[in-house]
Amino acid sequence: MFQYRAGQLHCEQADLNALAAEYGTPAYVYSKSAILDRWNEYERALSGIPHRVCFAVKANSNLAVLASLTRVGSGFDIVSGGELQRVLKAGGDPGRVVFSGVGKTAAEISLALEKGIHSFNCESETEIELISQIAAAKGTKASIALRVNPDVNAKTHPYISTGLKEHKFGVDIAAAEEIYGRAAGLPGIAAEGVSCHIGSQLLELEPLLEAADKTLALVARLRAAGLEIRYLDLGGGLGVQYQPQERSASVEEFAARLESHPHAGAWKVYRG
């Protein structure tokens, strides 16, 4: 979508030199076609699995970008109340919003419940207890997923790797069953998801598939214990090629490997 024509750089049909002359610099120009093509790539690849493709608002909160994704039915992954407000301003459906991220405030949780978001990805038992208190006070129920740490090496830059046991994010997957057992008894809580995020800019599939195997094994144990786990959030997303020697992981191969898993028909996949 970005190419030179007669020595002038274009984004789709727009001459970027002309835009710079008209609006000044710095100027940010996004390709709507490139964004939607990538979204549709996931949508097509996951067509055999019950799923929802969610755009991470922290990647780009431009209202025009969010509105374009809203029109094709995208879900959204947010990490703040401000991001929720931007999704709503862009016409997004709050029922397609997943609230991830650390440090959610009581005010943000309250707003998300009032707007009717789909679910919360929780980083700790303390966070679940806070959501329980707020939801119960409002006479409603919050769908939650606990973010588990599967102790998987994402094989990406260490600053954006979040899935090893020594990383601060999520809870040890070995402790998850006990936490889910306690969460299921809290008022205002529907413990019906599992979340996992091992890092960003992932160029290899094996770490994601290893994390999926571990989380699906957890889902099987939770269901056997009587919890109705309905969805799985695999987080992160696949990386893109920045260097000539790099090879991006295939969305199609990733989806095919997920679809062939024994439990593939039993859960939803939300991509962030």
Listed by start position, the domains of the chain span 1-30, 32-271
pTM to 2 decimals? Answer: 0.87
The CATH code of the domain at 32-271 is: 3.20.20.10
pLDDT band, residue 202 (cuts 50/70/90): confident
**Burial call 254-269: b when 16+ CB within 10 Å, e when fewer:** bbebbeeeeebeebeb
pLDDT band, residue 169 (cuts 50/70/90): low
Residue 195 has pLDDT above 70, yes or no: yes
Residue 257 has pLDDT above 90, yes or no: no
Res 250: pLDDT: 81
Mean pLDDT of the region 51-65:
95
Q: Where are the alpha helices (DSSP H) in the chain?
A: 16-23, 32-45, 63-71, 81-89, 106-115, 125-138, 176-183, 205-224, 251-259
Res 209: pLDDT: 82
